[in-house]
Amino acid sequence: MHTTAADIVGAAPPPRRWAVDRRLMGVAIITEIAAVALAYMAIYVPVLGPKLTREQATQHWLAAVVAATVVVLFGLVIVRATLRARALGAGVYRGRVETATDVKLPRIPRSLWLERVPKRWAGVAAALSLSTLPFTLGLGAPLWLIWLALLAPWAPIVAVESKYKLGYDAVFASFGLMVILQCLHMVEHSTQIAQLALTGGVLANSHGVIGQLDFETVHFVADTLLWLSLGLMAVIFRGRNVWLWVAFAAAGLHEVEHLYLFWMYIFEHTVYLSGGASGILGHYGLIGTPLDRPYLHYTYNFIVFVPLLIAFWDQARYTDRLRPAP
């Protein structure tokens, strides 16, 4: 018996199989682990420090509204600029025509590998980095010096590789440097969380790797530059990188907090020292959540950092498509 076209048309479609998005599954698992850890810290290791009363915490609500308005307006400017850039430059990126390629790309984008520096240099840097630990730990060096010794052997590799990548794609190389800086930022926040766990929530002894830089102006400048840079990247890439938008939105939420905190730090310094450092969503803050400030800001940075890594990976894959094969 022969199957006719009519039989095929009338046949029931094959059953659909559930497709698991491994990337989203990985993000969900990592997020769940971080959420459980932060919930434990918030419940069993509360941060010890001054707290505002509810009346004091809600006095400066107008500053929070202004901060949120500034962030929303800037976000709308970025969206408009992105749409305009997409309309004006469709199909072209840095003067190169965007074309699909049938060339099989490697599992890990080659733009993420060492391309200028010999790979053995990485092995040497790793060996030198680890060899510093017995000396720095044995001498009782401060935490910042231990980390500096660990990172120093990698500085020449990052410098040489960055210079090479800047030569063929300055935007992508700048994106990479931004990701490296945010990695170091996450190390700083993770170290603070670990210190709080070890000291039972004593904030005075839990200021991260470089405690001397743990003050409001540094936090405001660093997070504002990250937020502005993500917005600029969204315009340059014409909004095609979805995960970059997620990181930009999360950084915008973080920026509302830091605009409010910086205003409080400058104009209401006494209130800031009396517990105003909790900010908007911190425990005993303007709106308030169960998360004390260190745990809240770790959360902010986490929800920026994870999509930022994925966005960088996707951009590396896209860069590979535009580059000629080696």
Q: pLDDT by residue (tens digit) across 263-313?
A: 999 999 999 999 999 999 999 999 999 999 999 999 999 999 999 999 999
Residue 64 belongs to a domain: yes
Q: Note the pLDDT of residue 15.
A: 58
Q: Of 49, 318, 33, nearest to 203 (Cα)? A: 49
Token pair belonging to 50: 């001054």
Q: pLDDT band for 319, please (50, 70, 90 cuts).
A: confident
Residue 108 belongs to a domain: no
More confident residue, 41 or 321: 41
Mean pLDDT, the chain, rounded, equals: 88
Residue 306 belongs to a domain: yes
Number of folded domains in the chain?
Answer: 1
> Is the Cβ–Cβ distance between 166 and 303 less than 8 Å?
no
Judging by beta carbons within 10 Å of its beta carbon (0-12, 13-18, 19+), is residue 312 exposed, middle or buried? buried
Residue 18 belongs to a domain: no
Residue 202 belongs to a domain: yes
Residue 174 belongs to a domain: yes
Could you list the residue range(s) of the whole structural domain that residue 213 is in? 60-94+169-322
* Euclidean distance between CA atoms 326 and 314, whole angstroms: 20
Token pair belonging to 158: 């990052």
How many CA atoms lie within 13 Å of 132's alpha carbon, on the beta-carbon side?
18
What letter represents residue 2's amino acid? H
Write out the DSSP string of 13-75: PPPPPP---HHHHHHHHHHHHHHHHHHHHHHHSPPBS----HHHHTTTHHHHHHHHHHHHHHH
> Is the Cβ–Cβ distance between 184 and 206 less than 8 Å?
no
Q: Among residues of the chain, what percentage have pLDDT more than 70?
A: 88
Residue 16 belongs to a domain: no
pTM of the model as a whole: 0.87
Q: pLDDT by residue (tens digit) across 138-158?
A: 999 999 999 999 999 999 999
Residue 287 belongs to a domain: yes
The residue whose two tokens read 């590799």 is 157
Contacts 24+ apart (CB under 8 A), 84-90: 85/235, 85/236, 85/238, 86/238, 86/239, 89/238, 90/238
